């Protein structure tokens, strides 16, 4: 295992007003997607109005990571929480495009725009 797997998937959770900005770091793949999902569920349990998932430091996300976000989006809609993705790297953006999930998620170029 590389150093990345030892690091926390969620680097920080910043609260700005009623919004939670979740800064994610490193690849989100089979070895970390479960932890990723659990961390985001913890944030959702704190009942924010909006969650912005900052993916600026995520070079790669595999299908299990994408599926974790889909599950989170399902729950967010049930709980009437706004979920936005921000600052996707080119490769991660391509994954959302090729799977046509860019039309399912609310995706923004920057965290600031996602908070606007």
Partner 1 sequence: MSPTSEDNPSREPPVVRVIDLVKRFSGRAVLDGVNLEVLPGETMVVMGPSGCGKSTLLRHMIGSMWPDAGRVDLFGRDLGEMSEAELDQARKRFGILFQSGALFNSMTVGENVALPLREHTNLDSDTIDIIVRIKLELVGLREALDRMPAEISGGMKKRAGLARAIALDPEILFYDEPSAGLDPVTSAEIDHLIMDLSHKLGVTSVVVTHEMDSAFRIADRMAMLDCGRMLKVASRQEFEDIRDGQVGKSPASDLIRQFLRGESEGPITARRLSSGYAEDILSVGGGEPTRSESNDA
Pair 16, 115: CB distance under 8 Å: yes
Query: Can you tell me which of 55, 85, 86, 95 binds partner 1, judged by CB under 8 A?
Result: 95
Question: 14 or 91, CB closer to partner 1?
Answer: 91
- Distance in Å, CB of 65 to partner 1, minimum: 10
Query: Can you tell me which of 99, 110, 112, 113 binds partner 1, judged by CB under 8 A?
Result: 99
Q: By CB under 8 A, is residue 94 in contact with partner 1?
A: yes
- Could you give the CA distance from residue 113 to residue 115 in angstroms, rounded to a whole number? 5
Tell me which DSSP letter residue 100 carries. T
Kindly give the pairing relationship between strand 50-57 and strand 82-86. Answer: parallel
- Distance in Å, CB of 29 to partner 1, minimum: 8
Query: Residues 32 to 91: which contact partner 1 by CB under 8 A?
Result: 33, 62-64, 66-68, 70-71, 91
- Say if residue 12 is exposed, middle or buried (CB neighbours under 10 Å; 0-12, 13-18, 19+): exposed
- The sheet that has 82-86: what strands, in order across it? 10-16, 19-25, 50-57, 82-86, 106-108
Question: 93 or 108, CB closer to partner 1?
Answer: 93
Point out which residues bind partner 1 (CB under 8 A): 29-30, 33, 62-64, 66-68, 70-71, 91, 94-95, 97-101
């Amino acid at each position: 295992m590389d150093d990345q797997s030892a690091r926390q998937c969620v680097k920080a959770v910043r609260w700005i007003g009623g919004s939670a900005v979740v800064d994610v770091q490193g690849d989100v793949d089979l070895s970390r997607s479960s932890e990723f999902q659990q961390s985001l569920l913890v944030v959702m349990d704190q009942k924010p109005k909006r969650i912005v998932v900052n993916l600026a430091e995520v070079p790669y996300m595999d299908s299990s990571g994408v599926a974790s976000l889909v599950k989170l989006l399902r729950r967010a809609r049930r709980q009437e929480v706004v979920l936005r993705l921000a600052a996707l790297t080119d490769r991660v953006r391509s994954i959302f495009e090729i799977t046509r999930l860019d039309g399912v998620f609310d995706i923004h170029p920057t965290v600031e725009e996602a908070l606007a």
